[in-house]
């Protein structure tokens, strides 16, 4: 079965075409700058890259270009579009309603639209991508895979905020958590590397990129996660502030800041960028640290400290910790930060093997020493593979 995985943004569509259930990637690519005067298509297939400027005034046109390219005589990987039997869509917010991936129907579309006010930057473009795919592939099974679904197992003690309970009842203000598809994928891969069933392992998964989150996984289920009602809570991130005293916002509001200014500041001007005043890219910051940049060093120190604090807290939540997983752009590629984070908490029992940690490799691997009480892994995340697997099962 050929399954097309779609991740639609406000002005882009990322795609991968899988042969399932083998999980073979036949092609992948992206349409960027949808709605602008000239859009771009980058299409990767059979080890080659095809890049071209295109006209894509809307997502419908972008999807048509993708399908035409996939079936092209020269750069395509299928003879005809009808070979694509199913399409899996990444959807950021599914609220409390969706505990797993589902086949899309009118009711699901309405629910995705309903939760748009909780994820205004993500759900509307996700919905646009779904409707475009339905329009150009009307006979394919369409599935929605929610970032929040893995975290619906979190107990009330972890997801209810210390606000009047009627705020939850009326507005469903609670911890939802995000990056769920990534956390689920790496937790299950980690259990296999441990030689255990997913229900037998307690794991802390650290998804560290421009957006960062940590999840406590107990017996295969998410029991707590650092992101909250929105992806703003938790760790210090590239441009997001993470945990702060909410009274800061009231204080700044009294100083004349508008709600929109505060929203922009917390989401786009804070985190590593705001602290350092230089960059939201960890690679740039580490270079600046070597050059003696004090605020870059402060940003890196705070970033590591916050991760250390969450790992310690989630170790207490789990009771028994079997493994810690690093994934995401920073988690997979930065050996220096991995070593530092693990060294900062010897009481937990994570001992990094320097050679394993610094080895140049892109595959999943153990980086802790043989005598480490808690195993530490680097596992590249593959949300698209997880979405393809869910979609294949639903299509069957």
Give the residue numbers marked as catalytic.
147
Distance CA(223)–CA(318), nearest Å, equals 8
Distance CA(67)–CA(147), nearest Å, equals 25
Number of C-alpha atoms within 13 angstroms, CB side, residue 274?
17
Neighbours of 269 (CB within 10 A): 14
Cis peptide before 302 (omega within 30 of 0): no
Distance CA(365)–CA(361), nearest Å, equals 8
Neighbours of 150 (CB within 10 A): 26
User: Between 282-290 and 294-318, two packed helices, what is the crossing angle to 10 degrees?
Assistant: 120
Distance CA(194)–CA(232), nearest Å, equals 32
Neighbours of 79 (CB within 10 A): 9
Q: Which residues contact 205 (CB under 8 A, 6 or more apart)?
A: 182, 183, 186, 187, 190, 214, 215, 217, 324, 325, 327
DSSP class of residue 12 equals -
Q: How far apart are the first and last CA of the chain?
A: 9
Max CA separation in the chain (angstroms): 63
């Amino acid at each position: 079965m050929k399954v097309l995985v779609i991740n639609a943004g406000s002005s882009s569509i990322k795609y991968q075409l899988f042969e399932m259930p083998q999980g073979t990637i036949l092609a992948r690519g992206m349409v960027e700058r949808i709605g602008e005067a000239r859009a771009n298509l980058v299409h990767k297939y059979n080890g080659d890259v095809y890049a071209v400027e295109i006209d894509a005034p809307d997502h419908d046109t972008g999807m048509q270009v993708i399908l035409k390219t996939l079936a092209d005589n020269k750069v395509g990987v299928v003879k005809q579009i009808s070979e694509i039997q199913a399409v899996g869509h990444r959807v950021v917010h599914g609220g409390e309603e969706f505990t797993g991936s589902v086949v899309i129907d009118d009711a699901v579309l309405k629910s995705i639209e309903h939760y748009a006010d909780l994820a205004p930057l993500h759900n509307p473009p996700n919905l646009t991508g779904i409707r475009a795919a339905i329009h150009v592939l009307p006979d394919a099974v369409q599935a929605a895979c929610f970032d929040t679904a893995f975290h619906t197992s979190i107990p009330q003690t972890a997801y209810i905020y210390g606000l009047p309970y009627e705020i939850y009842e009326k507005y469903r203000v609670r911890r939802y958590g995000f990056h769920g598809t990534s956390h689920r994928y790496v937790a299950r891969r980690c259990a296999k590397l441990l030689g255990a069933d997913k229900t037998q392992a307690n794991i802390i998964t650290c998804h560290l990129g421009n957006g960062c989150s940590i999840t406590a996984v107990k017996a295969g289920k998410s029991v707590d996660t650092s992101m909250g009602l929105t992806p703003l809570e938790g760790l210090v991130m590239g441009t997001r502030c993470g945990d702060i005293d909410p009274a800061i916002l009231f204080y700044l509001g009294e100083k004349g800041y508008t709600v929109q200014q505060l929203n922009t500041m917390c989401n786009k001007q804070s985190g590593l960028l705001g602290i350092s005043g230089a960059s939201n890219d960890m690679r740039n910051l580490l270079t600046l640290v070597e050059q003696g940049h004090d605020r870059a060093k402060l940003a890196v120190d705070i970033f590591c400290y916050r991760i250390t604090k969450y790992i310690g807290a989630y170790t207490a939540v789990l009771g028994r910790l079997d493994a810690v997983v690093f994934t995401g752009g920073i988690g997979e590629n930065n050996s220096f930060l991995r070593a530092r984070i693990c060294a900062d908490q010897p009481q937990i029992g994570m001992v990094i093997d320097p050679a394993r940690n610094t080895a140049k490799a892109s595959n999943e691997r153990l980086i802790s020493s043989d005598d480490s009480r808690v195993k530490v892994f680097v596992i590249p995340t593959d949300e698209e593979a997880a979405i393809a697997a869910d979609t294949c099962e639903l299509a069957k």
